[in-house]
Each structure stands twice: as C-alpha cells, then as structure tokens.
Structure 1
Amino acid sequence: MGSLMKLAPLLLALLWASSGVASAAEYKVTIAGMKFGAPPAELHVGDVIVWRNDDIFRHTATARDKSFDVDLPPKSEARMTVRRAGAVDFYCRFHPAMTGKLDVRP
C-alpha cells in the first residue's frame, strides 16, 4: 500500500495530462497613450487577460454587455478570467473613445 501511495501523485498527473484538458493561456493587454493595445487573437474561455495601465490616467476595461468591468488606476494591472465565448466590445468608462473588441472562442 505504501508504494501505491507514492505513485498516486504520478498517476493523477498522467490521468490529467491524458484527459485532453487544455491549460489556460495568459495574455496581456496594455493601455498606453490613451489606447488599448491589440487584444489576443487566440483567446479562449478560461484564458486570463492581464490588463496593464501604463498611462498616468485612471482607465477601465468595461464590456458593453456588462460581462466585465476592470478598474485600472495609473501604473497598475488587474487579472480577469474570460468566462464566455463570443464577441465582446469594450471601452474605457472615463474615456469612451478608447475601444476594443475581444473575440473569444469556446
């Protein structure tokens, strides 16, 4: 039984690796010069976006469909996990001309 207990973590790792479960990717979207950087092209549900505000002004990344609203003080960053597939338009609540679009795949 002792040797089985020692093998348990290895067996669980092998089962997880062979289950076809993909690990989440992490992407960074940087705000600089009052503009959002390019959003990731290969975004999937479960991926993480790190929103980084390099400006001296406070910004938000706010979904028009209200699915997310990330507040970003100057020189800060925040993490957000993508929860659903589809196209999501976003903007800054403080600077509405700042816009972008996420295309999220399942």
Structure 2
Amino acid sequence: MGRLLKTLLFALLWASSGVASAADYQLTIAGMTFGPAPAELHVGDVIVWRNDDIFRHTATARDNSFDVDLPPKSEARMTVGRVGTVDFYCRFHRAMTGKLDVRP
C-alpha cells in the first residue's frame, strides 16, 4: 500500500472515529453582565471573552484556574483546560458572575 493511500486511510478513519475537534465560543460582556456561557463546552475548546462595555472587566475563576483581563472594547482568547464546573466573576464588579460547565 502506498504511503499516500495509507495517509488518506488514516485521515478517514480518524475523522470518522467520533473524536470531536475543538470549537470556539464567544462569551460577551455587555451592560455590566456576562452573556450566557456555552452549553456544550469541552476541554480544548476556546472561549473568546469579548467586552463590549465602556468599563474594564475581568473573567476570574473562583478556583483561580483563570483570570482574563478585558479592557473596554476588547477581547481575549482562553483555552479550556479541565473538566468540571467553574464559577467566575469580575474582580472590579463582584455582582457580575457566571458559570462554566466543562465536559471531557
């Protein structure tokens, strides 16, 4: 079997194996509120935190697993690293809260 044919066969088998690829999700802050968290979040997915407010915010995990600084009208990317539920808040506006539910 030729090398090219083996490579194509492997690619087809891998693509049909049910292995999910990482996805990008946007979580927007507007009106001093975090938008809804993605419902189907998995390890390896990327959250694009977007701050549409005129105020500086953070997305800070209560378990200290992440702390994303978001100046006004900016965005930042974060790769999800572990399974579990993570509560987060804004360090500058503690009433702003949210929750990520991460699956394997």
TM surpasses 0.5: yes
Moved over 4 A (4+): 5-9
> Structure 1 stretches of 5 or more lacking a match?
none
User: By how many angstroms is 1:21 displaced?
Assistant: 1.7
Structure 2 distance, partners of 1:34, 1:18, is 43
Give the AA of the match of 1:65: D
CA RMSD after TM alignment? 1.6
Q: TM-score, normalised by structure 1?
A: 0.87
Structure 2 distance, partners of 1:75, 1:13, is 41
- One of 43, 66, 69 as aligned partner of 1:68: 66
Q: TM-score, normalised by structure 2?
A: 0.89
**Matching of residues 1-106 of structure 1 within 5 Å:** 4-7=2-5, 10-106=8-104
> Structure 2 stretches of 5 or more lacking a match?
none
Aligned length: 104
Question: Cα deviation per residue 1:64-96 (whole Å; 9 max; x = unaligned)?
Answer: 000011111110111111111111000001111
Percent identity reads: 84
